[in-house]
Structure 1
Amino acid sequence: MVDETLITHGALSHIRGFYPTLSPSEKKVADFILANYQKVMPMTLAELAAHSGVSDATVVRFCRALGFHSYLELKIALMRSLLDSPDLIFDHIEKDDSPLTIMRKVFLGSIQAMQDTLDLLNDEALDRAVTLLQNAHTILIVGVGTSSPMAHELHNRLIRLRLNCRVETDAYLQLMQAALLTEKDALVVISQTGASQPPINTAREAHRHGCKIIAITGNPSSELGKLADVLLLSISHESRPETLASRIAQHALIQGLYVLMAMHMSQVANQNEYLIWDALMRASNAQES
C-alpha cells in the first residue's frame, strides 16, 4: 500500500508532486481530480475514466504511477486528505457559518434536488411506471444501505392499494427472489449511485427472466440505468456517495407515484385508506382505555 504518512498529508499534494512524471493521458486524470476532487468520491473507475476522457486502463495506470495498488486506495487517500473539511458533512458549508446559515444551505440543497428531480420527470415514464406496477402479478422492491428506507417507504405506500408487493433489502435474499420473477412481474430498484453491486445483480437476474424493471436512481448511464425499462431520475448535486438531498427527492418521487396510482384506483384507494384509518383509531382508543 502507498505510504500512509504521504497520503495523510494530502492526496492532492501527492498528485501534484507526481504530476511531471505522468504520461499525457495520465495527466488528464490528474487534471480532472485536482479540479473536481469532491465529485470523484462517489465515482466508479469507469465514470472517472469517462469524465477524464481516457480509458479505464489509463486510470489504473494513473493509480499505480502514484503508488496506489487500486482505485479504491486512491479514493481512501482523497477522503483522508479532506478529513478537516466541512464538505464531508455537507457541500458549501463554511466553518464560520452561523447555525441558521447552515440550516438554510441544507434546506436549499434539498429544495434544489426536488426541483431538479421534478424537471426531469415526464408523462411517458410516469405513465409507464404506473401501468407496470398496476398490471404486475408480483412487485419486488429492492434497495441496500441508505436506499433501504426508501424501498420500505414505497412498499408501505403500495400495500395500501392491495397490490401484491414485497420488499427486500438483504443482498442475497433479493437475488433469490429475483430468480423467481417472470415476465408478468415488476422489479423496482432504488439506488442513487446506480453502482451498488447487489441491486445490479438483482436487476440482471430479473432481466434474464423477462421481468420489467423500474429504476429510481441518479445515474442514468450506470448499468442499472441501462437495464431499466423505466428510469426515474432522482437528482442531487452533493459530492458524497451517501447524499442527503437525494433521499428527500426520492421520498417525494415515491409519494408522487403513490398518488398517481391512487388516482387511477380512487375507489379502492379511498376504501383502503378508510379501513387503515379506522384500524389505527380503534387501536389508539384501545390503548387509552
Structure 2
Amino acid sequence: MTDESTFTHSALSHIRGFYPSLSPSERKVADFILVNYQKVMQMTLAELAAHSGVSDATVVRFCRALGFQSYLELKIALMRSLLDSPDLIFDHIQKDDPPLTVMRKVFLGSIQAMQDTLDLLTEDSLERAVTLLRNARSILIVGVGTSGPMAHELHNRLSRLNLNCKVETDSYLQLMQAALLDENDVLVVISQTGASQPPINTSKEARRHGCKIIAITGNPSSELSKLADVVLLSVSHESRPETLASRVAQHALIQGLYVLTAMRMSQIANQNEYLIWDAIMRASNPQEE
C-alpha cells in the first residue's frame, strides 16, 4: 500500500468502512477480524483463513480489497491502530489502573497460563519426553528470539544431570548442528508460536536424519508441532506475539521436566547437586579453604 493515510487511521474503522463493498466470503474474514483483531495479529494467513472458514486466496483478496498489498501490511495496520492502547503492553490493562491492580493482573495472567498449561499436559507426553531425554546420546536445545533464554534455562537444568546436551540460539549454527544429529539424538525446540522459520528449518533437518524431536510450543496445529514426536503445550491467552505469561508457563514446564528426569536418575541427581552446592559454598567462602 502506498497511501500512508490508511496506517494513520484505525484499521478497524477502515474495515467497517469497506465492509459493504466486500464479497460474502470476504465479509467472513472481516467479521472474524472485527471480533478477534488482537488474536489476528499473531496469526498466519492460513490460520486466519481457517478460522474465518474461507480459503487462503480469499484472505489475500480481502487484503487487496482494503488497499493492502499483503497480509503483513494488514497486520501492521492493526498493530498501529493500537499504538495508544495499553493492550500492546499487557491484555486487560487500563490507563488509570493503580500500580497494585496492574501487578495483580500481570500475576493472575501468569497464574492462569500455568494452570492452563498444566491442564493440557498428559502422562503419556511427559513420560515420552523424559524417556527421550534420558536415553539420548546427545541433546540439542534450540530457540530464537525471546525463546533463547528458555533454551538456556533447560540446558542449565539438564546439564546438572550429566546429560550430554548443547544449546544454540543462532539460527545458522543450530541448523549446522542439526545436520550432524541422527536417530540416537534428541532435538528440543522451544517456540511459542511454532511459526518461526529458523526452528522449523532446524527441525526439518533433524527429522531428515531420523532425530527425535520434542517441541515446547503454544500452537498444537503449527508446522513445528507436526514435525515433533512429543509436543508439550505452553498456553497463553495474550494477544501479542511476544507474550509474557507464556514465558512463565514455559519456565515452570522446564523446571517440571528437570524434576521428572532427575527423579528417574535420583542417585546421579543427588550426587551432582551435592557437588554443585559444595563448589558454590567453597567459592563463597575461600578463607575456609
TM-score range (shorter-chain normalised) is: over 0.9
- Which residue in 2 is equivalent to 1:131? 131
The 8 Å contact of residues 282 and 288 in structure 2, kept in 1 or not, is answered as no
| C-alpha distance in structure 1 between counterparts of 2:9 and 2:70, whole Å | 19
- Which residue in 2 is equivalent to 1:116? 116
The residue matched to 1:141 in structure 2 has which SS? Answer: strand
Correspondences of 1:136-151 after superposition (within 5 Å): 136-151=136-151
- Which residue in 2 is equivalent to 1:262? 262
- 1:7, distance to aligned residue in structure 2 (A): 2.3
The 8 Å contact of residues 7 and 14 in structure 1, kept in 2 or not, is answered as no
Number of residue-to-residue matches in the alignment: 289
174-183 vs 2-11, which moves further: 2-11
| C-alpha distance in structure 2 between counterparts of 1:213 and 1:114, whole Å | 23
Correspondences of 1:1-289 after superposition (within 5 Å): 1-286=1-286
Deviations 1:197-239 (A, max 9, x none): 0000001111111100000000000000111100100000000
| C-alpha distance in structure 2 between counterparts of 1:2 and 1:141, whole Å | 42
* TM-score computed with the length of structure 2 as normaliser: 0.98
The residue matched to 1:231 in structure 2 has which SS? Answer: strand
| C-alpha distance in structure 2 between counterparts of 1:64 and 1:39, whole Å | 21
Tell me the amino acid that sits aligned with residue 262 of structure 2: A
The residue matched to 2:195 in structure 1 has which SS? Answer: coil
Deviations 1:105-132 (A, max 9, x none): 0000000000000001111100000000
The residue matched to 1:161 in structure 2 has which SS? Answer: coil
- 1:189, distance to aligned residue in structure 2 (A): 0.2
| C-alpha distance in structure 1 between counterparts of 2:4 and 2:288, whole Å | 60
| C-alpha distance in structure 1 between counterparts of 2:199 and 2:145, whole Å | 11
Query: Kindly, what percent of the aligned residue pairs are identical?
Result: 85
- 1:280, distance to aligned residue in structure 2 (A): 1.2
- 1:286, distance to aligned residue in structure 2 (A): 2.6
| C-alpha distance in structure 2 between counterparts of 1:96 and 1:85, whole Å | 12
The 8 Å contact of residues 262 and 269 in structure 1, kept in 2 or not, is answered as yes
The residue matched to 1:214 in structure 2 has which SS? Answer: strand
The 8 Å contact of residues 158 and 258 in structure 1, kept in 2 or not, is answered as yes
Structure 2 unaligned spans of 5+: none
90-99 vs 277-286, which moves further: 277-286
Structure 1 unaligned spans of 5+: none
The 8 Å contact of residues 6 and 77 in structure 2, kept in 1 or not, is answered as no
The residue matched to 2:285 in structure 1 has which SS? Answer: helix
The residue matched to 1:58 in structure 2 has which SS? Answer: helix
Deviations 1:5-41 (A, max 9, x none): 2221111111111111111111111110011111111
The residue matched to 2:175 in structure 1 has which SS? Answer: helix
| C-alpha distance in structure 2 between counterparts of 1:40 and 1:142, whole Å | 27
| C-alpha distance in structure 1 between counterparts of 2:182 and 2:287, whole Å | 44
232-241 vs 5-14, which moves further: 5-14
- 1:287, distance to aligned residue in structure 2 (A): 8.3
| C-alpha distance in structure 2 between counterparts of 1:288 and 1:41, whole Å | 58
146-155 vs 38-47, which moves further: 38-47
The 8 Å contact of residues 117 and 235 in structure 2, kept in 1 or not, is answered as yes
